[in-house]
């Protein structure tokens, strides 16, 4: 059994990491899939999906700060007409998807891990797609 689901979210900041672990888990639970994989995918070129620590909010702040240091918004050599080259670079660095094991109906995440939608060109209305694959 395979199932495709999606949900929308509204970002409120230019750069933002929103934890979506609970949203993904709700989809897994509703599917009744006990064992398999969940592919969490972002169909946007200026946003991404990451798995990282969800216990200390300073981690998110530090990650966003360090990405800004590596990819400053106003770089004199950027040529992209929309002016959001930094957002594209951050999305490439983060990646568009994460694959998570489903075991006994639960996402197999580490103790401190959460799934994040990473916004780099907000605020916007965004979509997250989840492909569940039963094994």
Quote the crossing angle between the two packed helices 57-70 and 85-94, to the nearest 10°.
130
Residue 52 domain boundaries: 2-134
Higher pLDDT, 77 or 50: 50
Looking at the structure of the chain, the number of domains it has is 1
Task: Give CA–CA dist 40/33, Å, rounded.
Answer: 15
Predicted confidence (pLDDT) per residue in 76-108, tens digit:
776 777 778 999 999 999 999 999 999 999 999
**If you search the block for the tokens 């200026």, which residue do you land on?**
46
DSSP state of 83: S
Q: What is the pLDDT of residue 82?
A: 76
Torsion angles phi and psi, residue 67, rounded to 5? -65, -40
CATH number of the domain where residue 114 is located: 2.60.120.460
């Amino acid at each position: 059994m395979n199932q495709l689901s999606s949900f929308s979210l509204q970002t409120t900041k230019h750069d933002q990491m929103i934890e979506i672990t609970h949203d993904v888990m709700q989809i897994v639970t509703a599917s009744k899939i006990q064992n398999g994989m969940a592919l969490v995918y972002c169909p946007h070129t200026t946003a991404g999906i990451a798995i990282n620590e969800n216990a200390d909010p300073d981690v998110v702040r530090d990650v966003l700060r360090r990405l800004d240091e590596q990819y400053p918004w106003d770089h004199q050599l950027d040529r992209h007409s929309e002016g959001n080259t930094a957002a594209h670079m951050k999305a490439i660095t983060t990646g568009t998807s994460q694959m998570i094991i489903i075991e006994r109906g639960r996402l197999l995440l580490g103790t401190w891990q959460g799934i994040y939608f990473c916004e780099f060109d907000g605020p916007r209305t965004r979509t997250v797609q989840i492909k569940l694959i039963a094994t």
